[in-house]
């Protein structure tokens, strides 16, 4: 008969403190006592450091709490099409530990929900192993276990790691970013300086940057300098002195971010700020201001900069132009204006991505349509050979995929 697990509701508090649980047999209308907890698990979640199109691994450590006999275990998953477990069964010697590995098969799409997965979980069956047996027969041995002789542990799955954290910050998903950091408390301190500065810049250019930026800084993101504005206080971080950053570099970072934050939503006079920036050697070149304004979605500021002769082809350290930036953010009107001012539709970043690639990543069908209608190459390939259609399919954007198929030559 099918057995159901339930807490023994009628137990006294003293009995409950000993983790007394029972198996309920609905056919016989009877409860059967179950063995006490036999193993301790290193984590209550399986933490998968996620990345697209590659195997992702996580280790789970089981420690035996039984001093008199080996403990047999068997690991099962609700998603066998996604996960492998090595080894799926085994024996843990008394008061010893054993580690098994969870392997996520290569995934072409982002998890629909992260970090916590609502559908993926693992069940670890454990029982005292009372007779000699090889590990190959543990499956059969578990099937013959007497009623109530095993203890089950449930583990949930969480998808974490730098890839998903960057995605959460780019999308402005504060809760996802916070929950990833909560599970990986040192993740931000491990970012290389260049990646850390890039991540902070993305955060400061969100529509509402304060919460995300403060989250990153308070969680240990190491940068050259912190932005100062009326909304958010960013101060130069003294711990960077040991890493060889010079004062002019720190001051320059403050100046750039001060200017970008101060001009958001028309806080400052754009024309006066542009003239000041153009004459101040400590400010970014006007072309870099175009790049910042494009990321921020400030259409009027971008237009004013371009009308005053800003370099429309300026790019950042990753080769991203203002057209790339507006495309990934879904700022269709800014992207169109940049094209009208003569920015090259097929400009490439350091990884060979055209603006159309990044518009796909940003998930904006309207921006993708606008770029294609203005002549963007639907079959453009990045340095790794990825086309916009491949990226749309990988990220699960069905509407963009259908549009690109309708406009592309699938034989190329």
pLDDT value of residue 297:
86
First vs last Cα of the chain: how many Å apart?
58
Q: Where are the beta strands (DSSP E) in 51-136?
A: 56-64, 71-77, 83-86, 89-92, 97-104, 116-128
Token digits of residue 71: 């403990």
Instruction: Please give the Cα distance from 140 to 89 (Å, whole number).
Output: 11
pLDDT value of residue 2:
34
pLDDT value of residue 267:
39
Residues 6+ away with beta carbon under 8 Å from 411: none
Laid out side by side, the sheet with 39-41 consists of 39-41, 56-64, 97-104, 83-86
Domains of the chain: 4-33 (no CATH), 44-160 (2.60.40.10)
SS3 content of the chain, % helix, strand, coil (to 5): 40, 20, 40
The helix or strand, by DSSP H or E, that contains position 291, with its residue range, turns out to be helix 286-296
pLDDT value of residue 14:
32
Give pLDDT < 50 ranges for the chain.
1-28, 32, 135, 225-283
Instruction: Please give the Cα distance from 205 to 224 (Å, whole number).
Output: 17
pLDDT value of residue 298:
87
Residues 6+ away with beta carbon under 8 Å from 131: none
pLDDT value of residue 246:
35
pLDDT value of residue 293:
85
What digits encode the pLDDT tens for the residues 379-394? 999 888 889 998 888 7
- Please tell me the number of Cα atoms within 13 Å of 373 on its side-chain side: 10
What digits encode the pLDDT tens for the residues 166-186? 999 998 999 999 999 999 988
pLDDT value of residue 146:
61
């Amino acid at each position: 008969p099918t057995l159901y697990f339930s807490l023994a509701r009628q137990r006294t508090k003293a009995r409950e403190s000993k983790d007394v649980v029972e198996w309920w047999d609905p056919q016989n209308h009877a409860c059967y006592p179950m063995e006490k907890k036999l193993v301790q698990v290193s984590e209550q979640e399986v933490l998968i450091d996620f990345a697209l199109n590659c195997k992702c691994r996580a280790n789970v450590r089981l420690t035996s709490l039984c001093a008199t006999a080996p403990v047999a275990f068997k690991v099962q998953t609700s998603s066998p099409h996604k996960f492998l477990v090595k080894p799926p069964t085994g024996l843990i010697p008394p008061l010893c530990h054993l580690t098994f590995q969870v392997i996520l098969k290569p995934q072409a799409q982002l998890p629909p929900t992260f970090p916590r997965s609502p559908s993926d979980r693992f069940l670890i069956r454990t029982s005292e192993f009372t007779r000699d047996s090889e590990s190959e027969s543990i499956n059969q041995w578990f099937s013959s276990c007497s009623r109530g002789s095993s203890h089950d542990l449930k583990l949930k799955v969480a998808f974490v790691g730098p890839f998903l954290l960057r995605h959460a910050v780019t999308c402005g998903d504060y809760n996802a970013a916070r929950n990833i950091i909560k599970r990986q408390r040192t993740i931000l301190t491990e970012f290389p300086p260049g990646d850390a500065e890039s991540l902070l810049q993305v955060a400061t250019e969100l529509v509402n940057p304060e919460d995300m930026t403060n989250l990153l800084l308070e969680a240990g993101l190491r940068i050259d300098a912190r932005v100062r504005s009326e909304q958010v206080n960013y101060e130069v971080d003294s711990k960077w002195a040991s890493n060889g950053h010079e004062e002019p570099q720190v001051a320059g970072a403050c100046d750039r971010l001060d200017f970008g934050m101060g001009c958001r939503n028309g806080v400052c006079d754009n024309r006066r700020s542009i003239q000041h920036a153009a004459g101040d050697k400590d400010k970014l070149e006007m072309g870099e201001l175009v790049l910042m304004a494009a990321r921020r979605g400030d259409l009027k500021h971008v237009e004013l900069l371009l009308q005053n002769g800003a370099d429309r082809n300026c790019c950042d350290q990753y080769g991203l132009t203002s057209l790339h930036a507006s495309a990934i953010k879904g700022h269709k009107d800014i992207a169109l204006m940049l094209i009208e001012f003569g920015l090259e539709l097929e400009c490439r970043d350091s990884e060979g991505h055209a603006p159309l690639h990044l518009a796909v990543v940003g998930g904006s069908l309207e921006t993708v349509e606008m770029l294609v209608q203005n002549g963007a190459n639907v079959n453009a390939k990045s340095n790794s050979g990825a086309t916009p259609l491949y990226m749309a399919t990988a990220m699960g954007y069905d509407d963009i995929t259908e549009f690109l198929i309708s406009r592309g030559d699938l034989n190329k």
